[in-house]
Amino acid sequence: MGVGIALQITGIVQGVGFRPHVFRLAHELGLGGSIRNDAEGVFIRLKGSQYKLDAFIASLRASPPPLARIDAFEILADDGLDLDENHFVIEQSKAGGDAQVLVSPDKSMCAECLKDIQTPADRHYLYPFTNCTNCGPRYTLINALPYDRKHTSMAHFAMCPECEAEYKSPLDRRYHAQPVSCPRCGPGLRLTRPDGSLISSDNLECLTECARLIKDGAIFAIKGLGGFHLVCDATNEAAVNRLRVRKQRPAKPLAVMVKDVDMAKSLALGSEEEWQLLESRERPIVVLKKSKALIEASSHNDSSHNSPQHYPGSKRTLAADAVAPGIDRIGLFLPYTPLHALLLDKIDRPIVATSANRSGEPIIIDITDITAKLSTVVDYILDHNRPIVSGCDDSVVQYCAGQLQVLRMARGYAPMALHVQHALPKQLMAVGPQQKNTLGFGLGHNLFLSPHIGDLFSIEAEDYFVRTLQSFKRLYDVSPTRVIADSHPDYAPSRFARDYVARDYVDSADTLEAHETATGVQARELITVQHHFAHVLSVMAVNNTTGPVLGFSFDGTGLGDDGSLWGGEVMLCTATDYKRLGGLMPFALPGGDKASHEPWRLVISLLHDRVSAETLSSLGCLSHLSPAALGNHIKVAARSHVLKSSSMGRLFDAVAALLGLCNHIQFEGQAGMLLEAAAARANANSVNPNEAHTNTFSTSTVSTSTVSTNTASTIADSTARAHANKDQVTQRLFAALLSSEADACLENGLENGLENGLENGLESGVEIDLDTDLETGVSKNLMHWNGAALMNAILHELMELPPGNTDAAEFASARDILAAAFIDTIALAIADTAKRFPELPIVLTGGVFQSRTLANVSYEKLINAGHTVLPWGEVPVNDGGIALGQLWYGAHIFV
Ligand SMILES: [Zn+2]
Ligand SMILES: [Zn+2]
C-alpha cells in the first residue's frame, strides 16, 4: 500500500521540459500521481512506496531538466486517496493565483536539433525553425502566462499529425515544446527586395539564394530570434564599408558570426574559459582579442600589405580594419538558431551580424519597419512569418578578473530572475537609467530584470521602454505600487515614473497608509536612488548581501546628491544608505555634452592652470585650435560656474586625447578601448621580468646554440627594462594622483580621524551605522584623487622623451607604456584605498570597469592583498545593472 505526498516547486520550471522529465522519472520508478503547471510553478502529486518516493525526490533535486532552475522545493502532506499507484498523468495547466512563474530566456539550438536538421532522413532536415523542449524561443514569443502554445506567437500555426503526436507524447523530446513545428506545418522563410516585394517563399531556395547573394557582397536584413540582423560577408571589405556608410556608423565595432569554434580560433586569441563562453548555452557575443595577424592588419590602413589571416575552408581574409577599426578586440558569436546554422554552413565565411535598427532606436522585429526605415541600407530581406512578440538583442560578454562580465544582458540571460529569501510585501518596479536601460520588477520571492532596452534618446526608444514595461506587467500580472527611479529628474524613465505615480499619488507615508486603509486600494509611491549607489547595490543584489561593502563606482556621469555630476566615487554602502568617501576631485566639463565627444576640451580643462598656453598649443590634440580659439577655450574652462564632474570615464577620455589616441569620440567607450589597446601593446612588450627569465631558461635548455641563448637574454633584459620602466612611471603618476591628499589630511586632521574610525568599529566590519561612525570617525572627504595633477605628470613624461626624437615607433612605445601606467595607477589607487578597510568586501562597478586591463589589474591587486571582491554574476557593471540596484534598494526600504 503506497503513501502519498505532494511537491510544490517554484523557479524556472515551465517551458523547460519539467513535466515530461517528471513523467519519465515517475514512469521509471513505477510511481503513480500527477503533475500540472500552476501560477506558482509546478505541482506534483505522487503515490507509491516510501523508498521510491525518496528516490524520486533525490533524483529530481540532483538532476532537474537542463534548462530548469529550482528556487523552492516544498514537500507537502497528501493522503493520495484518489491517486492510482500505477498511473501517472500530466494535467492541463491552470491559471490564477499570484503569478510566481518565471519566463525563461530564449535558448540556443541544442545538439540534437542540430543533428535533426543535418540528417537527410529526419523530417526536420534543413528546416530553419526546428526546436524542442531543450531549446528554441521562449521570452520573444510569449504573449501571456502560463506558457502554452495558445499564449505564444505560434498559436495560429496548426500542428500537423506528426508534430502533434510528438507534442503529446511525454516520452518524446518535443513533448509540450510550444513552438514545435516542421516544414509541413510551421513557419517559413520569405526572400524579398528592400520594398518587401517577394522573390521566393521556398525555404531551401531562400537559404541558397541568401547565401549566394551574401557571398556576392549583398547587404541583408535577416530576421532571427529576437529581431533582425544586418548581415554581410565579413571578408568583403567593400561590403562592410558600404554597410558602414549606409548605416552612418563609421567606427563602432561590428559583431561577427562564425560557423564554428575553429573559425573563431582563426580570428581571435582566447583562453579555455573564453571558448567555453562562446559555446555556452547562452551563445553570447564574446569580445575576444584579435589574432596577431588581424591586429597587424588593423594597425595599417591598407590591410593587403599584411600577412592575411586565413581560416579553414577559404582563402579569403577577414576585413579586420573595416569590422573593428583601431582596437585589438573583436566580438564573435556562433549560430544559435537552425536558420543561422544552415546559412553559415552554406556561406562558410565569417559574416557581420549586427542588430538592425536606426541609430539610437530599438532592434527592429517586423519587416514593415525594415522597409520603412532601412530600405536604403539593405539590398535584400530574409524574413519569416513567426511573429516576434518581444524584441531581444544579442547578449555581449567578456571574460575578465577571473569571471564572466556581461556587457549587454539580453538573449540567453534575460529576463533574469533573482530569488529573495523573504517575500516582498509590495510589488516593486524599478525604471532604470537613461542609457543602456533595463527594467526591474519585484514580486513575491523574485526580482526580475528585463533584457537590454537601450539608450532612451528617441521617441522610438521611449516607446520600446513603455512596451517592454507593459509586456512585463502583463506577463507577470503585476501592478506595482512602489516605484524606484534614478535621482536624475530629467531621465526619461524618471519622468515616466513621476507620471505613473501621479495617477494615484499621496505624498506622505502616513497619509499613504490611511489612504490605503480607507480605499482598499494601494496608492503609488516613488523613491529615487543615487546613480552610483545603485551601481554598487546591483552587485550587492547579485551577492544577496545588505553590506556594508566598499564600492568603487566609476562611470561616465550621473547626478550626485549634492547636485553636481559624479562618476569616480568611493562609497561605503549598505542596502539602504551610503557614505561617499571621496574619489576623483571634480574638474570642469567645458562645453557640457560636447566634452564627452571631444575629449581635447578636457585636456584644456585639466591642464590650463598648470601649464602655459604655449605648452598647450604644442600638444597634438590641440593643434587644430588657433591661438585665439585656444585662448577662448582656456577662459571657458577657468570660469567658476562651468559644469564640473568627478567622472572617471571623462578622465580616461582626457588621457586618451593627451596621448594622441583619440581626439573625437565616435561611440561610447571608444577612448577607453583605444587606451586599453595601447596598454595591451605595452604589457605585451614588458612582461613580468621573472616570467621573462623563465622563458630565457627554457629557451636555452631547448637550444644548444649559445647565440640563441644570448639573443633570448637580450630580449629578456629589454623586456625587464620596459617592465621596470612602466613601474617607475606608475609610481610617479600615482604620487601625482595623491598629491593633494597629504594637504587635505593635514588640514582636516584626517590621519587621527581615520584611526579613530577604524577603532570605533569600521575594522570589525559589523554593525556599521553609516551616519554616526562615519561622521565621527572618518571625514567624508577621505579620498582626494587629483586628476589634473595626474594629467600634468603624464604630460611631463611625454615632454621628457629625448628632444628632437622623430622616431615614431619610439614615441608610440613610450605612449603605450604611459597608457598602461595610467591604468595601473588607477588600480593602485583602488588597492591603496581598500587597504584602509581590510574587513569590507569590495565592489568594482560602473562602465569604466569594462576596461579589461583595469578590471584585471585591480582585481589581482585586491585578491593578492587578501580582500574579498564580490563577483558580478550575469548583471552588467554598466548602466544595464542600475535597475537591479534600484530594486535592491526598494526591497529593503519598502518593508
Ligand atoms: Zn532542441
Ligand atoms: Zn509538423
pLDDT of 576-594, one tens digit each?
999 999 899 999 998 888 8
**Using CA atoms, how far apart are residues 32 and 89, in angstroms rounded to an integer?**
8
pLDDT attached to residue 689: 41
Q: How confident is the model at residue 310 (pLDDT cuts 50, 70, 90)?
A: low
Distance from residue 165's CA to the centre of ligand 2 (Å): 9
Lowest mean pLDDT among 21-35, 160-174, 494-508, 807-821: 494-508
Provide the whole-model pTM: 0.86
pLDDT attached to residue 315: 52
pLDDT attached to residue 420: 87
**Using CA atoms, how far apart are residues 623 and 816, in angstroms rounded to an integer?**
21
pLDDT attached to residue 779: 46
Distance from residue 173's CA to the centre of ligand 1 (Å): 8
**Using CA atoms, how far apart are residues 128 and 182, in angstroms rounded to an integer?**
9
Per DSSP, the residues of 688-745 read -HHHHHHHHHHHHHH---HHHHHHHHHHHHHHHHHHHHHHHHHHHHHHHHTTTHHHHH
Mean pLDDT value of segment 530-559: 95
Considering every ligand atom, which ligand is closest to the CA of 159?
2
148 or 395, higher pLDDT = 395
pLDDT of 826-859, one tens digit each?
999 999 999 989 999 999 999 999 999 999 999 9
Distance from residue 159's CA to the centre of ligand 2 (Å): 5
pLDDT attached to residue 86: 87
pLDDT of 757-805, one tens digit each?
333 333 333 344 554 444 433 444 467 899 999 999 999 998 887 655 5
For residues 829 and 785, is the Cβ–Cβ distance under 8 A?
yes
Residues ≥6 apart with Cβ < 8 Å to 631: 613
pLDDT attached to residue 686: 60
- Residue 517 has, within 13 A of its CA and on its CB side, a CA count of 6
**Using CA atoms, how far apart are residues 492 and 460, in angstroms rounded to an integer?**
12
pLDDT attached to residue 439: 96
Distance from residue 210's CA to the centre of ligand 1 (Å): 24
Using DSSP, state whether 881 is helix, strand or coil. helix
User: Does residue 706 surpass a pLDDT of 50?
Assistant: no
Per the prediction, the chain carries an average pLDDT of 86
pLDDT attached to residue 741: 52
Q: State the SS3 of 758-795.
A: HHHHHCCCCCCCHHHHHHHHCCCCCEEECHHHHHHHHH
Considering every ligand atom, which ligand is closest to the CA of 116?
1
pLDDT attached to residue 60: 94
Annotated catalytic residue 193: no
Residues ≥6 apart with Cβ < 8 Å to 663: 598, 599, 600, 621, 657
User: Does residue 873 surpass a pLDDT of 90?
Assistant: yes
Residues ≥6 apart with Cβ < 8 Å to 35: 18, 19, 22, 23, 42, 43, 44, 45, 88, 89, 90, 91
Distance from residue 853's CA to the centre of ligand 1 (Å): 38
244 or 251, higher pLDDT = 244
pLDDT attached to residue 521: 63
Distance from residue 734's CA to the centre of ligand 1 (Å): 54
Considering every ligand atom, which ligand is closest to the CA of 337?
1
Distance from residue 858's CA to the centre of ligand 1 (Å): 41
pLDDT attached to residue 692: 35
pLDDT attached to residue 148: 84
User: Does residue 353 surpass a pLDDT of 80?
Assistant: yes
Give the residue carrying C-alpha cell 577599426.
325
pLDDT of 566-576, one tens digit each?
999 999 999 99
**Using CA atoms, how far apart are residues 288 and 88, in angstroms rounded to an integer?**
49
Annotated catalytic residue 37: yes
Neighbours of ion ligand 2 (CB under 5 A): 160, 163, 182, 184-185
Give the residue ranges of DSSP H helices in 800-834.
Answer: 808-834
Considering every ligand atom, which ligand is closest to the CA of 186?
2
| DSSP 8-state code for residue 101 | P
User: Does residue 47 surpass a pLDDT of 90?
Assistant: yes
Distance from residue 354's CA to the centre of ligand 1 (Å): 25
Distance from residue 124's CA to the centre of ligand 2 (Å): 9
pLDDT of 268-283, one tens digit each?
999 999 999 999 999 9
User: Does residue 754 surpass a pLDDT of 70?
Assistant: no
For residues 297 and 340, is the Cβ–Cβ distance under 8 A?
no
pLDDT attached to residue 816: 92
pLDDT of 369-379, one tens digit each?
999 999 999 99
Considering every ligand atom, which ligand is closest to the CA of 161?
2
Distance from residue 131's CA to the centre of ligand 1 (Å): 4
Q: Which of 37, 357, 786, 792 is catalytic?
A: 37
Q: How confident is the model at residue 515 (pLDDT cuts 50, 70, 90)?
A: low
For residues 619 and 608, is the Cβ–Cβ distance under 8 A?
no
User: Does residue 71 surpass a pLDDT of 50?
Assistant: yes
Distance from residue 154's CA to the centre of ligand 2 (Å): 12
For residues 649 and 554, is the Cβ–Cβ distance under 8 A?
yes
Q: Which of 19, 283, 411, 852 is catalytic?
A: 19
Distance from residue 416's CA to the centre of ligand 1 (Å): 21
User: Does residue 695 surpass a pLDDT of 70?
Assistant: no
Q: Give the H or E element holding residue 397.
A: strand 396-400
Distance from residue 129's CA to the centre of ligand 2 (Å): 11
Q: How confident is the model at residue 144 (pLDDT cuts 50, 70, 90)?
A: confident
For residues 443 and 484, is the Cβ–Cβ distance under 8 A?
no
